[in-house]
């Protein structure tokens, strides 16, 4: 009834305007006409100026997981969008959880929409119901985003609840009041220990749900889970993509994280620090807080945040980075090996300043049974009172990053 009254009022006002157009010479008629025109416009639906930046704040994609840390998700991809794209991004963020058949968005071409979808997906890993494809529909002056969904609405709600519980449990075990570095190290170790790498083109493998609930994920799952956990602890994180070339020489699309630690940005590849499904050798730290230059030997970045600091690199932070292989280095390596064995960590990761220093250290440490690592093992076994193998050791070398990893066996 109210709607009918409003339409009737509009028709009457339009009729009055037409009448006054014919007698606009009457004194005061022009002013009256302007007044009526403004009233009509105020009753009509107002169109959105798609090319003006949204004035509303970007809504949260999920409630804060850690109530003590009120840090919204990083919106780095959103910030790079045009005004028109930002309106579309907000529409997706608000409406996707309700599983609409389509969402009205500002008119745009396919490339612009692709940037919106990427930004929405990368900024908000807590929302993972978007499938692998979508359609851009244009009807007259209007455009619509028509998504394909990965789950149905009921199963998605259940899956989100499961993931939320896993995140809450994980965060409770992590140093909420620690430094950014300590939080990041805990998240890194938690994920590498929890997830089995799997890439069979299954939908869940690219989600944080796959990583945190099912324990199986490809690089996207690792990275999205890392973003959720780190930001739950108050550490700013961005998903970064590019191409990566593995040891077999195969180059493929890849995702990892760029993390802000004590004000500086670093590259973190949790996936590449996982030794893999068939290798029960613990986790590595080769790709824990490296620079763009350091990671560029294997990773070609599409990222937009420069990473140049080395201060929070794992090896430098833990005193396991060596400019030279000398007496001081040998003493530090022996002490670190002893500490690890004493607490039941049967591995040691080291990094050297360059290929020449790495080659020298590798030769002197592992040279037959006379290698210096064996004397260190004997000392560690005696001091820790642990029955470890002292006459042989396994090791892996990463020549791209000048690291060497020793794995200690139990006697």
Average pLDDT rounded to a whole number, residues 396-409: 95
Burial (Cβ within 10 Å: 0-12, 13-18, ≥19) of residue 19: exposed
Return the SS3 of 282.
coil
Domains 153-318 and 320-411 share a fold: no
Residue ranges covered by each domain of the chain: 2-43, 76-150, 153-318, 320-411
pLDDT digits (tens, 9 = 90+) for 225-278: 999 999 999 999 999 999 999 888 999 999 999 999 999 999 999 999 998 754
* Pair 285, 313: CB distance under 8 Å: no
Residue 348's pLDDT is 96
Average pLDDT rounded to a whole number, residues 172-187: 96
Residue 8's pLDDT is 39
Assign a CATH topology to domain 153-318. C8orf32 fold (3.10.620)
Provide the mean pLDDT of the chain.
Answer: 87
Whether 87 has a pLDDT exceeding 80, the answer reads yes
Q: Which CATH architecture has domain 320-411?
A: 2-Layer Sandwich (3.30)
Query: Of all residues in the chain, what percent carry a pLDDT higher than 90?
Result: 75
Tokens in use for 289? 């807080």
* CATH code of domain 76-150: 3.30.1370
How far, in Å, are 109, 114, 130, 136, 355 from residue 133 at the CA level? 16, 10, 8, 10, 45
Residue 1's pLDDT is 45
Q: How far apart are CA 333 and CA 162, in angstroms?
A: 43
Whether 168 has a pLDDT exceeding 50, the answer reads yes
Select from 391, 388, 290 the least CA-distant residue to 341: 388
* pTM reported for the whole predicted model: 0.85
How far, in Å, are 79, 94, 245 from residue 107 at the CA level? 19, 18, 38
Whether 138 has a pLDDT exceeding 80, the answer reads yes
Q: How far apart are CA 257 and CA 168, in angstroms?
A: 21
Taking the chain, what is the end-to-end CA distance rounded to the nearest angstrom? 87
pLDDT digits (tens, 9 = 90+) for 275-289: 875 455 668 999 999
Residue 70's pLDDT is 42
* Pair 372, 327: CB distance under 8 Å: no
Position 326 confidence tier, pLDDT thresholds 50, 70, 90: very high
């Amino acid at each position: 009834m109210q709607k009918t009254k409003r339409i009737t009022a509009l028709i009457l006002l339009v009729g009055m305007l037409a009448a006054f157009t014919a007698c606009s010479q009457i004194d005061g008629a022009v002013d009256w006409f302007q007044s009526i025109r403004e009233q009509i416009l105020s009753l009509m639906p107002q169109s959105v100026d798609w090319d003006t930046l949204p004035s509303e704040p970007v809504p949260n994609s999920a409630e804060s997981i850690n109530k003590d840390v009120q840090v919204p998700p990083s919106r780095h991809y959103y910030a790079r969008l045009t005004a028109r794209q930002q309106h579309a991004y907000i529409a997706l963020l608000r409406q996707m959880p309700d599983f609409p058949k389509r969402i009205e968005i500002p008119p745009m071409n396919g490339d612009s929409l692709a940037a919106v979808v990427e930004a929405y997906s990368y900024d908000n890993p807590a929302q993972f119901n978007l499938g692998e494809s979508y359609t851009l529909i244009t009807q007259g002056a209007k455009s619509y985003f028509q998504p394909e969904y990965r789950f149905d609405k009921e199963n998605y709600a259940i899956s989100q609840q499961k993931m939320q519980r896993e995140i809450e449990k994980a965060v409770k075990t992590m140093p909420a009041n620690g430094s950014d570095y300590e939080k990041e190290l805990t998240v890194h170790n938690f994920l590498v220990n929890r997830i089995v790498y799997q890439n069979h083109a299954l939908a869940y493998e690219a989600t944080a749900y796959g990583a945190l609930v099912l324990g199986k994920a490809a690089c996207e799952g690792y990275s999205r889970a890392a973003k959720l956990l780190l930001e739950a602890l108050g550490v700013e994180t961005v998903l970064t993509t590019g191409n990566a070339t593995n040891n077999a020489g195969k180059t493929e699309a890849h995702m990892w994280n760029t993390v802000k630690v004590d004000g500086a940005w670093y590259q973190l590849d949790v996936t590449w620090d996982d030794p893999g499904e068939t290798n029960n050798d613990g986790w590595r730290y080769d790709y824990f807080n490296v620079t763009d230059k350091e990671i560029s030997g294997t990773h070609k970045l599409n990222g937009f945040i420069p990473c140049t600091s080395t201060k929070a690199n794992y090896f430098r932070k833990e005193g396991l980075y060596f400019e030279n292989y000398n007496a001081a280095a040998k003493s530090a390596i022996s002490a670190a090996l002893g500490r690890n064995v004493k607490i039941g960590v049967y591995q040691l990761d080291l990094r050297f300043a360059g290929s020449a220093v790495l080659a020298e250290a590798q030769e002197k440490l592992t040279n037959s049974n006379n290698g210096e690592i064996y004397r260190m093992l004997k000392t560690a076994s005696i001091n820790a009172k642990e029955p470890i193998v002292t006459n042989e050791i396994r090791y892996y070398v990463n020549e791209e990053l000048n690291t060497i990893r020793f794995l200690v066996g139990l006697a």
